[in-house]
Amino acid sequence: MRNSARAWSRLVHPAVVIVLAAVVIGIPLWLALVTSAKSQGEANLPDLSLPRVWHLWDNYSQAFSQGHMLWALFGSLLVMVPSVAGVLIFGSLASWVLARRTGRVMAVLYSAAISGIILPPAVVTIVLLLRQLHLASTPTGMVLVYMGMYMSLVIFFVTGFVRTIPVEVEEAARMDGARPLGIFIKVVLPLLRPVIATATILICLYIWNDVFYAFFVLGGGTYSTLPLNLYSVASSNLYQNNWNLVFAYVVLMSLPLIVVFVVAQRRIISGITGGAVK
Amino acid sequence: MIPSLSAASGRSPRRAVLYPSSFLAPAFAVLAVFFFLPTVFNFVYAFTDWSAFHDDIRPVGLANVKAVLSNGALLSSLRITIVYAVLVAIMQTGFGLGLALLLERDTRINRFARVVFFIPVLMSALAVGYTFQALLKPDGPLNGLLGALIGQQVTIPWLGSTTWTVVTVAFVNSWKWMGLAMVIFLAGLKTIPADVLEAARIDGAGRWRTFRSIRFPLIAPAVTFNVATALLGSFNGFDTILATTGGGPAQQTEVLDIYIFRVYGNGLFAQATTMSLALLLLVALLAFPVIGYLRKRERVL
Amino acid sequence: MKTRGLTRAAAAATCGALLLAGCSAGNPGTSSDTAGPVATTWPDPGAGLQGVTLTLWMSTQTAAMADNVIKAFEAKTGAKITKVVIPDVYETNAPTKLATGAKPDLATWQPTGSMLALLKPSTDLQSLDGAPWLAKQTPAIQKLGLVNGHHYAAFVNVPSVLGVFYNKSVFQKAGITSPPKNFSELLADAQKIKTKGVAPFFGAAGDQWPTQWWPQVLLAEASKKGLWERVSQNKEKFTDPEILGAVRQFQDMVKQGLFNKDDKTSKYTESGPALLKGEAAMVLQLTSFASLMQSTADTATIDREIGWFPISKDGNIATSVPGGDNALVAFKTGDPKRESGARQFLRFWLETYYPDYVKSAGTVSIEPAVPTPAGVPEVVKQATAALGDAAGSMQQNAAVNPDFYVNLANMVNGTMTPEQVTSTTQSQFAQLAQALGIQGF
């Protein structure tokens, strides 16, 4: 009995995992990688075959230069980092208060705060507003738009999490004479690590890959983001796509995130679990 | 109220002092100006004749609302949106849970597999859409593989069926995001106290019993998070569908967001915003009760 | 707390007022001078333009089209041209971005009345009446790109026409010695090909838009007699026998199995290789189909294997469909220097640089004085020659552009009847016409 259980865990289980990963994830990734190394004509109808002629370096360097990827990378970071930082700081500050205080006013404010999750952002009117404030096509404007979009998400998740933190911890700090801001920074924020880690990942992913809002706010201006510049390499002429360049570009575009995840994988997962090690 | 430990004061200060309202200001300022204001104006436009064809904007009352309600295409699109969202919620959460259970133990292979399954989460939705568009062609790689396995030629139109393609597209979206659900569930599983599990083992509970009665209820917050993100993400996101089927075939994967996009493209801006109002109502009526239920479930436990 | 609430409300109200001020103006910075024709100056193409930056919007499909022209222009005049590639779908995103108040100096745009309407030509586009290059272009082109009798589009490429590209060997094997002279003969030929086991037509319905060509060529004669003008005045409807009949005939063709087996999911990009390999006998497409074939075969092969003929209900009339890569428009930005710079760029492209452009693009020349370079496939030259006698497509002659193709693709997939296709298209047409303010709707 025990031998078969061990056989399962030693041999069968890992085999199942590897096969599953290879088929479910490996095959699609293979298609993307292989297509990124083909010529334009060959890549027109993407499939799993290896390229007849390898254009790996040509495609990647063309995607990199034609898509101005370095500048786009700068743009993506420029809007992502302040947005995520801003929305997390403002959002958790507000969530703490909304979670701890009671009363009808607070309840109404809370409902208003999280209603943003279901409301689709109104892109045209937001840009019209930015234009009035002379913020259209600026990174500042983009950051404010992203913050507006994801504030509700942060408040929704953080408020729920704060309610699981015992008040006693804050009480103790207050007894020692700490002011509210001090209590928040020194006591509450560290305890919010799991939900902040999760929210960071989610919002970073949304912003890094966002094409729609980046286009209407930043598109055509000086600044650009990685998803936007994809369209500079996307097509060769009417009704045809440069699939080889497109896939080369998206591979390059996803690389920074993948590298960060592989390197910080354990930190990220432990951050989400709140350091609750088993 | 917690009895005060401090000798100096007799009671705890009012909540308004402990948790100052000023902390609400930055978040609400951003929300008010950069979210609510434009959104409200967007909905105001639904009652005008705003279009690409002329500069001036005149109010038209409920004309757009009436037109949209009598439009059969809207109802069809609503139905597809709901079906899609429910499928995504079920598949994404289900796959994530399955993967988390499979890769629970911290072996080297499991840790490697976790990274691999998370890669689609990091890829852009466009890349995922294009990849699957190529994979799922009737004469494409997937059918080729199935054909090799069965020994017969397989030409299933994965993206060409007016009835089933919506399932395929929901699968593609779940494929992209299941890695995230897996990570959240892994975290949730790790937070289950060891002594509870130990007690169950001593009582002789088998793996399935332990899961059903103890572990699954205790990961309720993770379930809420994953179902919530899946539902809300599928209601408002359309990148994957657009890149995979473009809303076809025969508009049978044209979720409301894509339909709205198409109406925008025709220059009928006011009609498009009227439809976003419809989408908003849909989400409010469906998503919130579900999330509320899940939240309550968390608290009971 | 109360004061805090008030301050917040005040801030919101101010922003609201600002927004309203912006809204009613629609596009800030628009010059609203439509009081009568202003004498436009046409600057010398090579004049110095140091310090002037022009923004050019292009779709992903046209993104590489102007690269050589831009380089030459910048070198000659010292101006700078910023190319902005708009994500797909261009025709949706560009008008939406215009609605947010963004405005380029130039943009590639489909030069049909219905598509130009999305740009508000009378208020937002520069009129190109009297442009010096007009006289240099073929008469057929001079008649196109008009809205209310004014030129707003500058043609840089020859407009596409609809015609049938066919595989010569498949025709030979089926015993067809000369191209069909009308649609009934075409269908008879299709049956002959079907008996030989080859798909007569490659439909590419998976991309939706190729489906609309079939009813359109069936309506070529009617179009010449003013069909689309009547529809645009609500004097005739899609649901009336003329158009409904064409849609029904298309459905019959689908039901008779005259299209490739995987028509419902097949894509445009597959139609080129399929025709070249002889897997299908014919493809009804725009002239630009030739460049799809050129991505997998050279000109010599195409000249040898592929032939072309136009088709319409009762004859061989081609249908012209100017495409998104055919022309540019110049916007009224309110900045006289940039507006004149835009006109200068167009002059440069179409007058000074045109011979070089045609050579590097390998495209047919639209100016009789400039020869078409070698290496352009025969079928392209034939299609271009048919332009002079061509009928106008719905895109070209109708006032607005409904999603006819979406409904037709639904019909191919079996989810709509011809009656539903025409009634849905008609109601969308009416909606768009109403928004445009056309009388009678």
Please give the residue of chain A at the shortest CA–CA distance from B282: A118
Tell me how far the alpha carbon of residue A172 is from its chain's centroid. 36
d(CA B68, CA B60): 14
ipTM of this complex: 0.83
Do C254 and C263 form a contact (C-beta atoms < 8 A)? yes
Mutate to test the interface with A, among C20, C293, C295 (most CBs of A within 10 A): C295
Q: Which residues contact B81 (CB under 8 A, 6 or more apart)?
A: B235, B255, B256, B257, B279, B282
pLDDT one-digit tens code per residue, A179-237:
888 888 888 888 888 888 888 888 998 899 888 889 889 987 889 898 888 877 776 55
Cβ-based contacts of A231 with chain C (< 8 Å): 60, 63, 85-88
- Chain B (36-65) residues lying within 8 Å, Cβ to Cβ, of chain A: 36-39, 41-42, 45
Do C215 and C409 form a contact (C-beta atoms < 8 A)? no
Please give the residue of chain A at the shortest CA–CA distance from B174: A24
State whether C415 and B157 contact (CB < 8 Å): no
Q: With an 8 Å Cβ cutoff, is B197 touching chain A?
A: no
Q: With an 8 Å Cβ cutoff, is C100 touching chain B?
A: no
State whether B267 and C406 contact (CB < 8 Å): no
Cβ-based contacts of A17 with chain B (< 8 Å): 102-103, 109-110, 113
Instruction: State the sign of the Cα–Cα–Cα–Cα dihedral A227, A233, A237, A243.
Output: negative
Per-residue model confidence (pLDDT) at position C33: 43
CB atoms near residue A194 (< 10 Å): 18
Q: With an 8 Å Cβ cutoff, is C254 touching chain A?
A: no
pLDDT one-digit tens code per residue, A134-188:
998 899 999 999 999 999 989 988 988 888 888 888 888 888 888 888 888 888 8
CB atoms near residue A105 (< 10 Å): 12
Residue with tokens 């930056």: C53
pLDDT one-digit tens code per residue, B112-161:
898 899 889 888 887 888 889 888 887 788 888 888 888 888 888 888 88
Per-residue model confidence (pLDDT) at position C8: 42
d(CA A170, CA A183): 7
State whether B57 and C24 contact (CB < 8 Å): yes
Q: Of B171 and A64, which is predicted with more confidence?
A: B171
Per-residue model confidence (pLDDT) at position A79: 95
Cβ-based contacts of C435 with chain B (< 8 Å): 49, 51, 53-54, 267-268
Query: Which residues of chain B register pLDDT less than 50?
Result: 1-10
Q: Name the token pair of C366.
A: 């639209």
State whether A238 and C86 contact (CB < 8 Å): no
CA trace torsion A89, A93, A96, A102 (10° rounding): -150
Task: Output phi, psi for C162, to 5 deg.
Answer: -85, 135
Q: Which residues contact C370 (CB under 8 A, 6 or more apart)?
A: C354, C355, C358
Q: Which residues contact B24 (CB under 8 A, 6 or more apart)?
A: A93, A94, A97, A98, A109
Per-residue model confidence (pLDDT) at position B50: 87
pLDDT tens for chain C, residues 1 to 441: 333 443 344 444 444 444 444 443 344 434 444 444 456 789 988 888 889 999 999 988 788 889 999 999 999 999 999 999 888 778 888 988 888 889 999 999 999 988 998 899 999 999 999 999 999 998 888 888 888 889 999 999 989 899 999 999 999 999 999 999 999 999 999 999 999 999 999 999 988 889 999 999 999 999 999 999 999 999 999 999 999 999 999 999 999 999 998 898 888 888 999 999 999 999 999 998 998 898 788 899 999 999 999 999 999 999 999 988 899 999 999 999 999 999 999 999 999 999 999 998 888 899 989 999 888 999 999 999 998 899 999 998 999 989 899 899 999 998 899 999 999 999 999 989 988 888 888
Tell me how far the alpha carbon of residue B152 is from its chain's centroid. 37
pLDDT one-digit tens code per residue, A84-93:
999 999 999 9
Q: Is the pLDDT of residue A275 over 50?
A: no
Q: Which residues from A are below 8 Å from C when comparing CB atoms? A: 40-41, 44-45, 123-125, 127-129, 131-133, 136-137, 211, 215-216, 219-220, 228, 230-232, 234-241
Q: Name the token pair of C138.
A: 């073929």
Average pLDDT over residues A259-263: 82
Strands C153-155 and C160-167: unpaired
Point out the residue among C18, C97, C292 whose CB comes nearest to the CB of A239.
C292
Task: Output phi, psi for C58, to 5 deg.
Answer: -135, 155
Q: For the purposes of burial, counting CB atoms within 10 Å of the CB of C261, is it exposed (0-12), middle (13-18) or buried (19 or more)?
A: exposed
State whether B157 and C265 contact (CB < 8 Å): yes
Do B26 and A92 form a contact (C-beta atoms < 8 A)? no
Per-residue model confidence (pLDDT) at position C27: 40
Task: Output phi, psi for C108, to 5 deg.
Answer: -75, 145
Do C79 and C348 form a contact (C-beta atoms < 8 A)? no
Q: With an 8 Å Cβ cutoff, is C158 touching chain A?
A: no
Task: Report chain A's C-alpha Rg in angstroms.
Answer: 24
Point out the residue among A131, A220, A237 whose CB comes nearest to the CB of C291.
A237
Cβ-based contacts of A39 with chain C (< 8 Å): none
Q: With an 8 Å Cβ cutoff, is B122 touching chain A?
A: yes
Nearest CA-CA partner of B218 in B204, B242, B199, B245:
B199
Tell me how far the alpha carbon of residue A48 is from its chain's centroid. 29
Cβ-based contacts of C57 with chain A (< 8 Å): 220
d(CA C399, CA C439): 12
Task: Output phi, psi for C161, to 5 deg.
Answer: -120, 155
d(CA B52, CA A267): 50
Do B213 and B207 form a contact (C-beta atoms < 8 A)? no
Cβ-based contacts of C412 with chain B (< 8 Å): 250
Residue with tokens 């897997």: C279
Q: With an 8 Å Cβ cutoff, is C360 touching chain A?
A: no
Do C290 and C377 form a contact (C-beta atoms < 8 A)? yes
Q: Which residues contact C376 (CB under 8 A, 6 or more apart)?
A: C299, C362, C363, C364
Cβ-based contacts of B257 with chain A (< 8 Å): 120
Residue with tokens 């928040």: A184
Residue pairs between chains A and C whose CB atoms are closer than 8 Å: 108
Nearest CA-CA partner of B65 in B269, B278, B285:
B278
Point out the residue among B42, B115, B123 whose CB comes nearest to the CB of A254.
B123
Per-residue model confidence (pLDDT) at position C26: 41
Q: Name the token pair of C22.
A: 């912006």
CB atoms near residue A15 (< 10 Å): 11
- Chain B (279-298) residues lying within 8 Å, Cβ to Cβ, of chain A: 279-280, 283-284, 287-288, 295
